Structure 1
Amino acid sequence: MLIKKIKYKIVKFLYNYFKKIYIRNINIDNNEILQYAHNELTIYGYNKDSKYYNDIIEVIAAISKNNNINSSIKHNISVINKLCYKVPITPLTLKEDEFEQSISSKILYVNKRYNRIYKHLNKMFVTNAFSISISYILSTKTKRIIPYSTDLSWKYNVFETKNGILTGRYFDICYIKECQIKSGSYIPFNTIKLKGTKVEIKEFIAIMTIDCENSDLIRLSNLYDIDWKITNAFKDKNIKNITIRDYNKYRNDNK
């Protein structure tokens, strides 16, 4: 065991030593991306003696070694980026052998290649199909709508409105369309960010709403089968007039 540790330390030392020599001998003048990376890393405070600098330059140099065209380098980087985030680089088959039983449920299955796709009762849903961010905040107490901007996003039930009136429809799950499943060649879509209005009913109690003509909601509907549900608690209500009683009725109806 001691000999193995000594060998490991020797190999690690030699690797880092020759890596530094390799990095120092890289000619960045003929590579636009390497030159840009060098300048940015230097401004950031890293130099050729920094492990952070060496790791990044080594990766860029390695993937650009046999590619003189910047577009090819960018393609390779995009592939690496997908792999780091566990996103498949070839289409999914969505067949039985691509799923395994989830540890949380005996009737829930997760895709082995892309763990954001689940299968439940012969339907497949995507956990990151959408996220919702706040564009406006409405207080039912003041009846005022205030513009709001944030890069953060949440996963809420999303309630549909039309000209500020709740339709009674809401959703939180998007299913993969049957035609896409049958094709046997499914490429996951990027997450669609829905920009909606947060309706504050009471302190710490709110719902997220979005207009039925919102372009991102329409795009979501085109890409997926949205699992619309109905609640009569909010139906035909102006978002300014939602009460805590309405909210409690919605919660009780959906227990």
Structure 2
Amino acid sequence: MKKSKRYIKKQNNKPLINKKVLAKVIRESNICKHAIKELKLAGYGNGEGGPNDWMYQQVIEAVAVFASHCNSGSSAPWEINLVQRLCDWDIISPLKFTDDEWCQISSDGTCQNRRKGDVFKEPDGSIHYNEAFNKRPISRYNFDTKEWTDNKNPICWHGGLFEYKDNILTGRYFNQCHLLLYEINKGWTPRPTITIDCVEIEIAPDNWFMAVDTNNTKLLLLGVYYNIQWKECSCLKGIRLEDVTEELEKEAYEEMRNNK
């Protein structure tokens, strides 16, 4: 198959790959043959010179490098796991939170972790993890019809959540989770992101307000793993979900800003 211009340019500029050895490995390796067959069946490497071609060539090259290591049945998954995590900029040992792990990003002293970029340290020393949770609205209240419907294909979002019980808002909100002190002291490995099912209320056309049931099991689990930073917004306490307005939402955020 004719190589794409993008691939040829990369090969010419980077002496990392021995082209003769690469061709030999691809020709003789069973896993390379498997990769070629599967990629072709999936529509890659069709010779049209587009992204499917250069991605095909790059993947085969990566598989060939892996094949050249001649791993055993036990070491192959080990290497695959390490490479996958490192190429995804993940860490493979606990964060220690030593001074050299932090980079100051704000004049107030806020720091970002050099090894895990979604971990931050506040000026008071507390540490929060931006990927602690996300939210998935499984039910919605429509502004025009005034009816509740289920979301058939809910998607996940980042951002804060208001709290409710029995369809009534409690006047609490959170958007940040701090690490527990004992985990900071012993070294910490990020946990998988917790997905919290919630509801969304359309308080105006295309303006969505999201809230979670106080008894939601994933919310309770989040509270076990982290110190949830609850904020008070008394203007919403006792308000039905369906009765939230843009004005009330604005007032709530203003109240929380003033409570800092």
Shorter chain as denominator, the TM-score bin is 0.7 to 0.9
Indicate the SS of the match to 2:236.
coil
Specify the SS of the correspondent of 2:248: helix
Structure 2 contact 143–205 (Cα < 8 Å) conserved: no
Whether 1:143 aligns to 2:141 is no
In the TM superposition, what is the alpha-carbon distance from 1:124 to its structure 2 partner? 0.3
Q: Does 1:113 align with 2:120?
A: no
Post-superposition offset of 1:88: 0.6
Say if 1:77 and 1:149 are closer, same or farther in 2 by CA, change over 3 A. farther
SS at match of 1:208: strand
Alignment of 1:1-80 (within 5 A): 15=17, 17-18=19-20, 20-28=22-30, 31=31, 34=32, 36-47=34-45, 51-64=54-67, 65-69=69-73, 72-80=75-83
For residues 220-235 of structure 1, the aligned pairs below 5 Å read 220-235=222-237
2:167 alignment partner in structure 1 = 164
Task: Find the residue that maps to 2:121 and give its secondary structure.
Answer: strand
Cα separation, partners in 2 of 1:16 and 1:216, compared to 1, 3 Å: same
Q: State, as a whole percentage, how many aligned pairs show the same letter.
A: 26
In the alignment, which residue of structure 2 is the partner of 1:213? 215
Tell me the amino acid that sits aligned with residue 44 of structure 2.
Y
Report the counterpart of residue 253 of structure 1 in structure 2.
Answer: 255
Q: Shift of residue 239 of structure 1?
A: 0.7
Match of 1:123 among 101, 126, 145: 126
2:234 aligned counterpart, secondary structure: coil
Matched residue, 1:203:
205
Q: What code does the residue aligned with 2:180 have?
A: K
Supply the distance in 2 between the matched residues of 1:250 and 1:165 (Cα, whole angstroms): 15
2:195 counterpart of 1:193: yes
Moved more, 152-161 or 53-62: 53-62
The verdict on how the C-alpha distance between 1:23 and 1:214 changes in structure 2, with shifts beyond 3 A counting, is same
Contact 1:134 1:150 (C-alpha < 8 Å) held by counterparts: no
Q: Distance between the aligned counterparts of 1:46 and 1:179, measured in 2?
A: 49
Aligned counterparts of 1:225 and 1:249: Cα–Cα separation in 2: 26
Structure 2 residue ranges without an equivalent (≥5): 1-9, 48-52
Q: Aligned letter for 1:74? A: P
Q: Which one of 88, 92, 95 corresponds to residue 92 of structure 1?
A: 95
* Alignment-derived partner of residue 50 in structure 2: none
Residue 51 of structure 1, CA deviation: 4.8
* Pairwise CA distance, 1:95: 2.2
Please state whether the residue corresponding to 1:222 is helix, strand or coil. helix
Inter-partner Cα distance in structure 2 for 1:248 and 1:10: 57
User: Residue type matched to 2:164 in 1?
Assistant: T
Letter in 2 for 1:201: I
Letter in 2 for 1:43: L
Q: Partners of 1:245 and 1:14 in 2: how far apart? A: 60
What secondary structure does 2:28 align onto? coil
Query: Conserved in 1, the CA contact under 8 Å of 2:180 and 2:226?
Result: yes
Contact 2:26–2:64 (8 Å) recurs in 1 = no
How high is the TM-score relative to the length of structure 2?
A: 0.81
TM-score, reference length from structure 1:
0.82
**Partner Cα distance (1:217, 1:238) in 2:** 20
